Amino acid sequence: MVKVSVIIPVYNAGQYLDKCISTLVKQTLQDIEFIFILDCPTDGSDVVVQKYADTDNRIKVIRNQSNLHIGNSRNVGLDVAQGEYIGFSDHDDFRKLEMYEELYLYAKRNNHDIVMSLTCEVNKEGTENRWNVPIVNVEYFKEYCLSNMIGGGNLENNTSWFCNVHSCIYKKDLLDKYQVRFVDTCLLSPEDLIFNIEAVYNARNVGFISKVFYYHRIGICSAGRSTDYVGWKKRSAAAQYIFDFLVSNKIFPLYEMNFYMYVSRQYLKGLLAPLLHHDIFDFISGLRYVRTQSFTHKAFLSYIEAPNNRPWYKNTFRKLIVWLIVVQS
């Protein structure tokens, strides 16, 4: 029986792919499969994957007929995965060799639907940024995760790592029962956050190991970080998706302020992007669109009133965006 399936979409991973694969195939957990989704790479990444697959029968290789991007590629892997639990990796990241064994044993010992652990971010210079986590009573960990994720991660409390899927494993029965899948990343972003909100909400319980297992490269060729220009279209579509999810499950009143924090920060990032790229027409289009969403005005009013947002509010461009949304709406 396969205990864990790890799904790895691959596009143009370059020099980092070999370390990614080697830290997978050397995992101390033996009953494991690796599902590589080749998303039409053009740099020879497919050759590297196939080289490993030829000598390791735990590796499955699926070739997309067209470029599906990371969200739908992960869904392809989910549809064929045989593992009791599911893990995800980006094609340029790496991990400790005991990662999946420790996560799996902890999940089985405590009968958890999801087990989370810590991520360490690594930039192109090799500098590591490790997240520290506040001590939380295990009984309330699911609620703590959910409230922080709906808020987009609390930078002050170092909980932004809740928003990624790399350092977690998920019970496959949970994902299949509630049809938890990734959104189309051509249309919405961030996909990890939306996936985690749905998965954690439907989970019976969520466990946590306070260890760093996973090393996530940033500013290199990561699918999620290949460009800083994630504009208002994807961010506003994601906010609408989360809003609809909260309303349809009748939990919006519980997380209203968390959601407003997410909206204000995401929209500031999304609307800053065209300004910084000198695309005034895209900025105006984005501004007009987000002002039509029912929650935008209230979200920005809440943003202004939140004391911990004052450092953000000092930026001139952010002040302009907030003024255009709040005063001119």
CA-based nearest residue to 147, from 256, 245, 249, 255: 255
Give how many domains the chain has, as a whole number: 2
In this structure, are 213 and 258 located in the same domain?
no
Q: Are 300 and 261 in contact (CB under 8 A)?
A: no
The DSSP output letter for 136 is: -
- With a cut of 60, say whether residue 313 has pLDDT above it: no
Query: CB–CB of 215/93 below 8 Å?
Result: yes
Contact present, 286 and 236 (Cβ < 8 Å): yes
**317 versus 237: which is more confidently predicted?**
237
Same domain for 300 and 161? no
pLDDT at 229: 46
pLDDT of residue 228: 40
Residue 209 in contact with residue 102, Cβ under 8 Å?
yes
Does pLDDT of 53 surpass 90? yes
| Contact call for residues 183 and 241 (beta carbons, < 8 A) | yes
Q: Is the pLDDT of residue 155 over 60?
A: no
Of residues 113 and 148, which shows the higher confidence score? 113
Query: Can you read off the two tokens belonging to residue 152?
Result: 């987009």
Query: Is 176 part of a structural domain of the chain?
Result: yes
Return the structure tokens found at 137: 């009573």
Query: How do 32-38 and 4-10 pair as beta strands?
Result: parallel
pLDDT at 306 (0 to 100): 66
> Do residue 189 and residue 270 come from a single domain?
no
What pLDDT is attached to residue 139? 76
What's this model's pTM, rounded to 2 decimal places? 0.90
Contact 75, 181 (CB under 8 A): yes
Do both 186 and 280 map to the same domain?
Answer: no
Q: Which of 174, 199, 217 is the last residue of a domain?
A: 217
Q: Is residue 50 located within the same domain as residue 196?
A: yes
In a domain, 245, yes or no: no
Nearest residue to 98 (alpha-carbon basis) of 52, 31, 29: 29
Report how far residue 39's alpha carbon sits from residue 10's, in angstroms, rounded to the nearest whole number: 6
Spatial neighbors of 2 by CB under 8 A, at least 6 apart, are: 31, 32, 33, 82, 83, 84
Domain limits at 85? Answer: 4-217
Per-residue confidence band for 157, with pLDDT thresholds at 50, 70 and 90:
low
| CATH code where residue 148 lies | 3.90.550.10
Mean local confidence (pLDDT), 226-230: 44
Percentage of the chain modeled with pLDDT above 90: 62
CA distance 33 to 86: 10
